Structures are given as C-alpha cells and as structure tokens.
Amino acid sequence: MTKRRNFSDKFKATVALEALRGDKTVQEIAVKRQLHPTQVSTWKRQAIEGLAGVFSDKVKKAENKDGEIKDLHAKIGQLAVENDFLSQGLKR
C-alpha cells in the first residue's frame, strides 16, 4: 500500500499560480510537478474561488479590531473604577 502524499499550502499556491498564469497547460504543469491534471485543475479552481476572500478579509479584520478596541476600553474603564473603589477602602 502506498503512502498518501500531503502537499504544503505554499506548494499548492505555487502550482495554482502557475496554472493561472497560463504559460503552460495543465497537463504540462502536472507532468513537471508529478501530479494528476485533475489535482492541478482543482487547486486552480480553489485559488480562483478564494481570491475574492483575500481582499474582503481586510474589511472584516478592521471591523473586528474596532469591536475589540471598544471591548478593551470598556474593560479598562471597569478596572479603573474597581481600582478607585478599592483604594478608597484602604484609606479608611
């Protein structure tokens, strides 16, 4: 029984980018990289589908940071109030 090959994300991206360029056919890329042509086509399709997410993630990350900043400011305010309360209790 042969061991199943696992490919890194970097390798998959390289193959998909090579296929997207169109300099060589899928068959030529598959022979060069010792892959099945279907695998190269699959990675190419996944790259095309995932390409829109590369640009939209920046907007989502910015929105998440804004919400996180608000939460952290609220936590700082809560801790400041608790600190003042406890310091006043120690003065008595």
pLDDT band at 66 (very low <50, low <70, confident <90, very high): confident
What integer pLDDT is reported at residue 59 of this predicted model? 63
Q: How far apart are alpha carbons 80 and 28 in whole angstroms?
A: 65
Q: 90 falls in which pLDDT band (50, 70, 90)?
A: confident
**pTM passes above 0.95:** no
Residue in the block written with tokens 């990350």: 61
Residue 79, both tokens: 């801790």
For 13, 35, 42, the CA distances from 39, given in Å and listed in that order, are 12, 7, 5
